[in-house]
């Protein structure tokens, strides 16, 4: 269970002084993970991008062949100061991702290292702006989506879990978390059977999935409606990407405070850890390679959906 780590991260980030250094300090007790912080500024402020690498026993860092899982904590910001006081709902993705890193780091001290490397990335901004969105306001980000993807998605990731608060909608009416179909190079593929199995096993409940549309896997800023930014990492990689949405039964704005539920975050974090265990051992697949090859043969590439297209008058 990742509840201990979730509570630890939640309390550490629930401050106006939170920064990338906060995450460095959280992991300072562990010698094997590496933590790097990159501060990026934009027209709406600045944020600290955090990258945590948990080395595996047979991963790429030691010239091994075990695959690398990427875990991205997706969000606009952990806080909306001065408009809001405290940790906002949008922070859940960052909390879950960092909690997963803490759990994996602790496992190594207990003799339970994974075969493959795990790369966790997110960003820490306690004073991000907000922006209008239907049905409730969203958190905005100090930097553009392209900058976020450049910092959070990397070439060594063989598959990506993108964890994001997804409560500001009327599409998902479930408290807990839900997973999306797999997205790969413009294709929305069927939901992975392995991920469904791991979700049911780790939660003790029937799996919950959520629908996505073509609009959701296109770049932000192209003028079309997006559920949220949960699948924006898919536009920056050829690796398969699955959204892990932390959800609610009611419609909750991303900039709302007091709206995070630690047990739900912990469930999503635990799911990410369990996926990392199986993916690095080759017992979890995000998509059917033969079926994907057939789709490409029949219908060609859809990779153009990953690029922002100029609007024609």
Least confident of 32-46, 80-94, 135-149, 211-225: 135-149
Average pLDDT over residues 81-95: 95
Model pLDDT, residue 43: 81
Neighbours of 278 (CB within 10 A): 17
Interacting residues of 106 by C-beta distance below 8 A, sequence separation 6+: 5, 30
Per-residue pLDDT band for 1 (boundaries 50, 70, 90) equals low
Query: Could you report the per-residue pLDDT of 20-49, keeping only the tens digit for each?
Result: 999 999 999 999 999 999 999 978 899 999
Nearest to 163 by CA among 273, 249, 237, 86: 273
Interacting residues of 1 by C-beta distance below 8 A, sequence separation 6+: 266, 270
Model pLDDT, residue 311: 59
Query: Could you report the per-residue pLDDT of 191-211, keeping only the tens digit for each?
Result: 999 999 999 999 999 999 999
Cβ 148 vs Cβ 91: under 8 Å: no
Per-residue pLDDT band for 224 (boundaries 50, 70, 90) equals very high
Average model confidence (pLDDT) for the chain? 95
Tell whether omega for the bond before 135 is within 30 degrees of 0, i.e. cis. yes
- The CA distance from 21 to 254, in Å, is 24
138-139 and 130-131 strand pairing: antiparallel
Beta bridge partners of 236: none
Model pLDDT, residue 134: 74
Q: What is the pTM of this model?
A: 0.96
Model pLDDT, residue 50: 98
- The CA distance from 260 to 94, in Å, is 12
Per-residue pLDDT band for 308 (boundaries 50, 70, 90) equals confident
Question: To which residue do tokens 């998902």 refer?
Answer: 172
Model pLDDT, residue 154: 97
118-124 and 45-54 strand pairing: antiparallel
Average pLDDT over residues 65-86: 96
Can you read off the two tokens belonging to residue 64?
């091994």
Average pLDDT over residues 119-131: 94
Question: Which three-class secondary structure string do you get for the chain?
Answer: CCHHHHHHHHHHHCCCCCCHHHHHHHCCCCCCCEEEEEEEEECCEEEEEEEEEECCCCCHHHCCCCCCEEEEEECCCCCECCCCCCCEHHHHHHHHHHHHHHHHHHHHHCCCCCCCCEEEEEEECCECCEECCCCCCEECCCCCHHHHHHHHCCCCCCEEEEEEECCCCCCCCCCEEEECCCEECCEECCCCHHHHHHHHHHHCCCCCECCCCHHHHCCCCCCCCCCCCCCHHHHHCCCCEEEEEEECCCCCCCCCECCCCHHHHHHHHHHHHHHHHHHHHCCCCCCCHHHHHHHHHHHCCCHHHHCCCCCCC
Can you read off the two tokens belonging to residue 65?
């062949």
- The CA distance from 51 to 235, in Å, is 19
- The CA distance from 151 to 268, in Å, is 22
Query: Could you report the per-residue pLDDT of 265-303, keeping only the tens digit for each?
Result: 999 999 999 999 999 999 999 999 999 999 999 999 999
């Amino acid at each position: 269970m990742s509840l201990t780590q979730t509570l630890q991260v939640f309390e550490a980030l629930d401050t106006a002084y939170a920064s990338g250094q906060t995450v460095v300090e959280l992991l300072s007790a562990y010698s094997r993970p590496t933590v790097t912080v990159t501060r990026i500024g934009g027209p709406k402020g600045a944020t600290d991008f955090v990258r945590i690498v948990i080395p595996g026993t047979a991963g790429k860092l030691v010239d091994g062949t075990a695959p690398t899982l990427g875990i991205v904590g997706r969000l606009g910001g952990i806080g909306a100061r001065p408009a809001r006081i405290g940790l906002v709902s949008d922070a859940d993705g960052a909390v879950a991702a960092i909690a997963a890193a803490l759990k994996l780091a602790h496992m190594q001290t207990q003799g339970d290292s994974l075969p493959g490397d795990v790369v966790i990335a997110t960003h820490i901004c306690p004073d991000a702006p907000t922006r209008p969105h239907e049905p409730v306001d969203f958190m905005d980000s100090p930097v553009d989506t392209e900058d976020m993807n450049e910092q959070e998605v990397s070439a060594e990731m063989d598959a990506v879990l993108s964890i994001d608060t997804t409560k500001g909608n009327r599409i998902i009416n479930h408290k807990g978390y839900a997973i999306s179909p797999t997205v790969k190079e413009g294709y929305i593929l069927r939901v992975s059977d392995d991920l469904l199995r791991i979700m049911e096993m780790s939660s003790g409940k029937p799996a919950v999935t959520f629908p996505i549309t073509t609009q959701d896997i296109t770049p932000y800023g192209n003028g079309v409606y997006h559920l949220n930014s949960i699948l924006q990492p898919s536009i920056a990689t050829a690796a398969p990407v699955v959204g892990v949405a932390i959800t609610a039964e009611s419609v909750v704005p991303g900039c709302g405070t007091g709206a995070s539920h630690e047990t739900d975050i912990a469930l999503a974090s635990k799911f990410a850890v369990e996926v990392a265990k199986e993916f690095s051992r080759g017992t979890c697949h995000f998509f059917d390679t033969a079926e994907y090859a057939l789709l490409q043969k029949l219908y060609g590439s859809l990779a153009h959906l990953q690029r922002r297209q100029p609007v024609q008058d």
